[in-house]
A and B are shown apart, each in its own frame.
Chain A
């Protein structure tokens, strides 16, 4: 059954479907061949972009993680965030800027043998909804252990990153006029934190790409991005708006293809929208899983501006997309959205693959065997499509 499941996941990459979703004769033939080969060689289909044997190899451990009460998770826990810095991997804290001067935090993980005179691929690692980079640093550490430069980032108004212009309100009149392009003034302000805004997170990722492109030793044409949960939606959106991305891994996020749509504001949110424009601050609500805080309730409306499932058709063929869903994901309801997205991308000539973590729920992907398998598959993907580093 597991073999068939993997075969199903693999099929869309290897067969072209016509626009009505019908098999063409030739693809139907290839489809049957694919099933036969998958059945014969278990999950290690010759048609896969990367080998997913590791899933079958750890099948029993994944099943145990899925059923062990100790390893059950409704959110990640601080003990899930810890990791040992791999031997030879070094780190460097950096500051980069978005939106005209908002300082963002990046923690770079440099692989063994890294040299600023060489040419290395680099991967940006971004956190999920209302979270912190400290929770996913271990992915960056793992990628560096595998020979990639990796940088974990905090989005604006989170963790070690500054609040952006959207999050700062003056408590006295703005004295500036169009006579000057910049003015410094000592002022009374209110600085807002944890302002959940997917559109800004897309900008933050893109600023990180720009920063890494200018970093000595990094090949500007070999940049990848990794995001998990809502961060997975962000990396798909970034892939759709920025052709500098050459490889993308989206973990535990549904990205079902949908039509583009203008955002409607529900009647319930309209009064809040008005409070926002009348006072500069709307209602709050609690949000997040691993890191619960209050956020502006407006995020439920604003985040609809970012529509990864609607933007799939903008992803260029120079990008390569791997989805790592969890089979029993309670938030995305499994992997069907990714299977559809991969099929959609493949039809458009974009290399895409789905590697489902069997038995796991959403937050189990981040720990134990879920982490081992998920981070290995992601690193395999990046190494395959970004290549390896060389000290020249």
Chain B
């Protein structure tokens, strides 16, 4: 039994620093705001501190963790691109959102107060704006990896995180290339305007502002659902397309019914851009296209 555990432990330690013929992986950590996150870094086999490689952040889709996207990261690394597959705060191997579980006091003259107290840690929240900040912090981490060319950074996303990739490119000038697979294109056909919540959404917002961090799992899940409903209702990646600079290249991979929305979206882009239409089932084709896009545009 002991020997078995030892073998498992040995296997795990290899897993955190595995080398294949074409790429190596490593579990790394960085902080998104004050929350510690683990992520998986894929580096080409010939990568070293003196390299000058392009690099891509890969962000998981809605309700997913990085396991769902590691194959794309690996495919990029085998083609010479450093790739970082991340989790968002409150998901997978990222720490949770932090709240006080009991009263605390402070004095603003003391900027950093250390204490022990009951923390209430929330997970599985979907906050698109916070997730975009996670992607941007991951970009910063990637820029600090030895052998990465800071000027050649890309972002890859799928579904909701395809929307994040567009939003990140429209809000952060460091992004030079984007692949958005089956991206959330909410905001299409709506003029850019302040969010006007429906009566039902307004009721949720009132309840959220009048309720502290929930104490039990059931209440926490209900609150997660309401938060996500409101946050997604006002999240409009489509509005960010026209903010993407001419120097950023964008590939939109449209699946099935999304083709016409992607055709409209690409017209708003100033730089090198393209739409690839595929059947949803053919995700390997999408991965190949993403690899080709980053290889030729970064």
Q: In the complex, what's the smallest C-beta–C-beta distance from B56 to chain A, in angstroms? A: 17
Determine the chain A residues whose CB is within 8 A of the CB of B243 once the complex forms: 260-262
> In this assembly, does A167 line the interface, its C-beta being within 8 Å of a C-beta of chain B?
yes
Chain A proximity mask over B196-236: 1 for CB below 8 Å, otherwise 0:
11000010011111111111110111011001000000100
Stretch at the interface among A74-82, A141-149, A174-182: A174-182
Chain A proximity mask over B91-127: 1 for CB below 8 Å, otherwise 0:
1100111111100101111111111111111111101
> In this assembly, does B258 line the interface, its C-beta being within 8 Å of a C-beta of chain A?
no
- Residues A182 and B32 in contact in the complex (CB < 8 Å), given A165-B98, A191-B113, A214-B209: no
| Option from B34, B129, B143 in Cβ contact (under 8 Å) with A168 | B34
Q: Is A277 touching B34 in the complex (CB atoms < 8 A)? A: no
Q: Is A207 touching B140 in the complex (CB atoms < 8 A)? A: no
A96 CA to B207 CA in the complex, in Å? 10
Interface residues of B, count at CB 8 A: 86
A210 CA to B209 CA in the complex, in Å? 6
**CB closest chain-A residue, reference B227:** A100
A263 CA to B234 CA in the complex, in Å? 21
**Total contacts A-B at CB 8 Å:** 248
Interface residues of A, count at CB 8 A: 80
**CB closest chain-A residue, reference B216:** A182
> In this assembly, does A21 line the interface, its C-beta being within 8 Å of a C-beta of chain B?
no
| Option from B32, B96, B112, B195 in Cβ contact (under 8 Å) with A192 | B112
> In this assembly, does B293 line the interface, its C-beta being within 8 Å of a C-beta of chain A?
no
**CB closest chain-B residue, reference A208:** B209
> In this assembly, does B193 line the interface, its C-beta being within 8 Å of a C-beta of chain A?
yes
- Residues A178 and B91 in contact in the complex (CB < 8 Å), given A186-B116, A270-B143, A314-B194: yes
Q: In the complex, what's the smallest C-beta–C-beta distance from A161 to chain B, in angstroms? A: 10
> In this assembly, does B267 line the interface, its C-beta being within 8 Å of a C-beta of chain A?
no
Q: Is B96 touching A183 in the complex (CB atoms < 8 A)? A: yes
> In this assembly, does B266 line the interface, its C-beta being within 8 Å of a C-beta of chain A?
no
B 163-201 contacts with A by CB, 8 A: 169-175, 192-197
**CB closest chain-A residue, reference B32:** A277
A213 CA to B109 CA in the complex, in Å? 34
> In this assembly, does A320 line the interface, its C-beta being within 8 Å of a C-beta of chain B?
no
Q: Is A184 touching B106 in the complex (CB atoms < 8 A)? A: no
Among B34, B91, B112, B118, residue most surrounded by chain A Cβ atoms (within 10 Å): B34
Determine the chain B residues whose CB is within 8 A of the CB of A167 once the complex forms: 34
Secondary structure of the A side of the interface?
Answer: mixed
A208 CA to B245 CA in the complex, in Å? 35
**CB closest chain-A residue, reference B205:** A210
Determine the chain A residues whose CB is within 8 A of the CB of B35 once the complex forms: 165, 169, 174
Q: Is B104 touching A264 in the complex (CB atoms < 8 A)? A: no
> In this assembly, does B150 line the interface, its C-beta being within 8 Å of a C-beta of chain A?
yes
**CB closest chain-A residue, reference B209:** A210
> In this assembly, does A97 line the interface, its C-beta being within 8 Å of a C-beta of chain B?
yes
- Residues A262 and B110 in contact in the complex (CB < 8 Å), given A168-B98, A211-B210, A314-B193: no
B 63-78 contacts with A by CB, 8 A: 65
Q: Is A274 touching B143 in the complex (CB atoms < 8 A)? A: yes
Determine the chain B residues whose CB is within 8 A of the CB of A132 once the complex forms: 108
- Residues A182 and B122 in contact in the complex (CB < 8 Å), given A213-B206, A262-B170: yes
Q: List 13 A-B contacts (CB under 8 A).
A: A97-B213, A103-B100, A162-B100, A165-B33, A169-B31, A184-B119, A191-B112, A206-B205, A207-B209, A214-B206, A214-B209, A214-B210, A244-B197
Give B contacts to A, CB under 8 Å: 30-36, 65, 89, 91-92, 95-101, 104, 106-125, 127, 129, 137-138, 140-141, 143-144, 150, 169-175, 192-197, 202, 205-217, 219-221, 223-224, 227, 234, 242-245
